[in-house]
Amino acid sequence: MVRIILGVIVGFIVWSIVWVGSEALLASLSPDWLGKHSLDAQKALAAGIPLESANDAGIAIINLIRSFVTSILGGYMAALVAGEYKRSTMALGIILLVVGIMVEYMFWNLAPAWYHILFVLALIPMTILGGRIRRSN
């Protein structure tokens, strides 16, 4: 049980680091588009106003792909540390879902509704997929 808890903690930390790190990397690689969007989103969130570029489907798709990859990596690491892939990845997925719902609610004005819905709906399946990938290695 201790390994499962540690796996979930490690998976959550990995998810968080990869998400924030990939945001910074992409913003630095594309300062005029992704970087500007990121800064504008921070300003809009702080001011409590809608984001002018909220309906940019390209950014939403990039962020969904980042979420899928990040969730798979988090699930993989949770399964690796836990030594099993079912309970650790399900627990991590549920925690990510709860946190994700809270975050997406806060950021609702910063992206289209379909993005928020797909983001939270994919958290558990992608996390479980990461654990299954670990199982097959």
* pTM greater than the 0.95 cutoff: no
**pLDDT recorded at residue 41:** 79
Q: Which of 6 and 54 is assigned the larger pLDDT?
A: 6
In a domain, residue 84? The reply is yes
Supply 68's token pair.
């899928």
Of 9-13, 78-82, 88-92, 111-115, which range is least confident?
111-115
User: Which pLDDT does position 40 carry in this prediction?
Assistant: 80
d(CA 9, CA 46): 29
Is position 6 within any domain? Answer: yes
> Is a pLDDT exceeding 80 seen at residue 136?
no
pLDDT 10s digits, 36-87 = 878 887 787 787 777 766 667 888 899 999 999 999 999 999 999 999 999 9
pLDDT bucket at 34, cuts 50 / 70 / 90 = confident
Q: Is residue 46 part of a domain?
A: no
Q: Give the mean pLDDT of the chain.
A: 91
Domain hosting 83: range is 2-22+55-136
Q: Is residue 128 situated within a structural domain? A: yes
Closest C-alpha among 122, 123, 125, 137 to residue 80:
137
In a domain, 40, yes or no: no
Quick one: tokens of 82? 């836990």
pLDDT of 91 > 80? The answer is: yes
Total domains in the fold of the chain: 1
